[in-house]
Amino acid sequence: MNKLIELGKKHNIDIEIFKEKNNSTDISTLNDKVKLFQITNVTSYIIKAIKNNRCVKIVTENINDVEEIINTLEEIFNTSDNKNSNKLCSGNVKNKVKDYEKIDNTKVKEDLLSLNELKNKYSCIKTVEAEFSHAEIGKFITNELNNCDMEDETYFNSYGASVTVEKNNQTRVLYIGFYTKEYNFDEFKEYLLKKLDYLLIKLDSTSVETKKYKVLLANNVVASILSTFSASFQSKGIYLNESVLSDKLNKKIFSDKITIIEDSPNGILNSNFDSEGTLKKKQVLVDKGTFVKEINNIEYAIKLEKDATGNANGVNNLYIEKGSKTFDELVKELNNGIIIDEAYGFHAGVDKKTGNISVQAEGLLVQNGKITKGLNMIILSTNFFEVFTNVIEVGNDLSKFSLSVSTPSLLLDNITIAGKE
């Protein structure tokens, strides 16, 4: 890395190298067999270069050919019009993992394969696919400044499953994802079993009439919505009029009951600085419904004369502050309405500029406080602002469905569900 920094100096280019090492082990099973065992060891680099107060970057997996990298940087300086003024990192932070969790792959295989035994209890289960991943991530920053010495390490575990059930020519599938810091298969299995109960009810499914309903959005569905719009909090998109939150800073955009926080150092994927070396800290983005803070990188912090927030690589631990009621209490309070516990197609069925959402959903009909029937072939037809404004109650059940976004379930009023009936 020093060779590249030295050669940069000869070209009057100040170079900073962000190095990220990702080591992971993945195991997946299908019914009673291991389907795939995979190990991945990949190192990548972001080369930040500053010349005549302009900054450009390249991403590469190989820095051996320093001449080619410098030539490419010169080409980018000559081509790009971007006036990106920037600065090198001068921090000195070391956050090393003392003892990485030792994962016993034999036990992982046994645990995943044990899910196949669910077929003994539930005869309608046709197939069980399960997967596990353990990832270790190391980040380093170096540049020509003597006082820059940044190192950060973290790790996490993820689990997934798809369970297919079949009865009377009806087939339904449960897809779940789950993240934990330490290996905790029992917690994942408990979550899977809860979701499986709902799936079994959905073997007897119907659609509904298209109209507005009182709706309980399960925490995983709320997490999908917030994840889809998480980049909307970035200054760049707001500045370029590409974000649903353009012109909304310091305005009331959601219900008083919604407070959204980004707390990177304390998430499952805990991170103490971003790829530019900006230190991360807990920051409130939406305070009791008012949009109070944008997140950004150094380029947009300088351009908009704000503080850099350490979000050059997006969010690490974005969450909605939880309320006090359990999911079961929210179901009782729903009384007559619809639970949406699964929704698909957020990559396509969402307009990130207007906030409109129109996605395939599954759910459960609730009558007099009790779940009476499954719902399939329905569409959740709403809007980003509507979801977080029509809030009656916020649950206390923060999701573990996404690595970087967690949310509680939300009880909402007046949400359109489109159906066939």
Partner 1 sequence: MKKDRLENILEAMLSTGGDFAEIFMENKKTTVFNYIDSNLDGYSVNYSNGLGLRLAKDNNVYYAATNDFSKKSINSIINTLKSNIKDKVVYNYVSLKRLKKYKNNHKTHYTNDDIKELFNNLDKKIRSKDERINQVNLTLQNVKQDVTIARENGLFKNEERERTRLYIIISFKDGNKACNISYSLGKTTSLDLLDEIKFDEVINELIKEGTDKLYASTCPGGEMPVIIENGFGGVIFHEACGHAMEATSVADGISVLSHDLNKKIASEKVSIIDDGTLFDEWGTTKIDDEGRETKKNVLIENGVLKGYLIDEINNRKLNMKPTGSSRRESYIYAPTSRMNNTYLEKGTDTFEDMIKDIKLGLYAKKMGGGSVSPETGDFNFACDLAYMIRDGKLAECVKSASLIGNCKDILASVEMVGDNLALGQGICGSISGSVPVNVGMPRIKVSHILVGGEKSE
| Least distance in angstroms from the C-beta of 354 to partner 1 | 6
Contact with partner 1 (CB under 8 A): which of 10, 12, 52, 61?
A: 61
Report how far Cα 177 is from the mean position of its chain's Cα atoms: 11
Within 52-85, strands assigned E span 54-60
Residue 102 sits in the site that holds partner 1 (CB under 8 A): no
Nearest in space to 50 (alpha carbons), one of 12, 6, 106: 12
Looking at the chain, the number of H-run helices and the number of E-run strands are: 10, 19
Q: Which of residues 241-300 bind partner 1 (CB under 8 A)?
A: 241-242
Size of site (CB under 8 A) for partner 1: 66
Residue 51 one-letter amino acid: K
Contact with partner 1 (CB under 8 A): which of 2, 6, 9, 35?
A: 35
Residue 53 sits in the site that holds partner 1 (CB under 8 A): no
Contact with partner 1 (CB under 8 A): which of 2, 80, 336, 414?
A: 80
CA–CA separation, 254 vs 248, rounded Å?
11
The CB density around residue 417, as the number of other CB atoms within 10 Å, is 23
Contact with partner 1 (CB under 8 A): which of 85, 95, 206, 207?
A: 207
DSSP 252: B
Contact with partner 1 (CB under 8 A): which of 85, 283, 290, 360?
A: 360
Residue 107 sits in the site that holds partner 1 (CB under 8 A): no
Whether the CB-CB separation of 294 and 249 falls below 8 Å is answered with yes
Residue 12 sits in the site that holds partner 1 (CB under 8 A): no
| Least distance in angstroms from the C-beta of 404 to partner 1 | 18
| Least distance in angstroms from the C-beta of 239 to partner 1 | 9
Residue 419 sits in the site that holds partner 1 (CB under 8 A): yes
Residue 1 sits in the site that holds partner 1 (CB under 8 A): no
Contacts of 117 (CB under 8 A, 6+ apart): none
Nearer to partner 1, 171 or 367 (CB): 171
Q: Which helix (H) or strand (E) holds 373?
A: strand 370-383
**Sign of the CA dihedral with 296 first, then 301, 303, and 306 last:** positive
Nearer to partner 1, 21 or 181 (CB): 21
Stretch that binds partner 1, among 79-87, 138-146, 227-235, 394-402 (CB under 8 A): 79-87
Residue 335 sits in the site that holds partner 1 (CB under 8 A): no
C-alpha distances out from residue 122 to 197, 199, 282, Å: 10, 12, 44
Burial class (CB in 10 A: 0-12, 13-18, 19+), 52: exposed
Contact with partner 1 (CB under 8 A): which of 259, 272, 309, 381?
A: 381
Nearer to partner 1, 76 or 284 (CB): 76
**Strand 125-143 relative to strand 149-167, pairing:** antiparallel
Stretch that binds partner 1, among 36-44, 115-123, 214-222, 267-275 (CB under 8 A): 36-44
The CB density around residue 243, as the number of other CB atoms within 10 Å, is 22
CA–CA separation, 4 vs 89, rounded Å?
17
Nearest in space to 301 (alpha carbons), one of 339, 327, 274, 330: 274
Contact with partner 1 (CB under 8 A): which of 1, 76, 371, 398?
A: 76
Contact with partner 1 (CB under 8 A): which of 55, 359, 391, 405?
A: 359
Stretch that binds partner 1, among 4-12, 239-247, 283-291, 328-336 (CB under 8 A): 239-247
Interacting residue ranges for partner 1, rule: CB under 8 A: 30, 33-44, 56-62, 72, 75-76, 78-82, 127, 129, 162, 164, 171-173, 175, 207, 209-211, 240-242, 344-345, 347-351, 353-354, 356-360, 376-377, 379-381, 416, 418-420
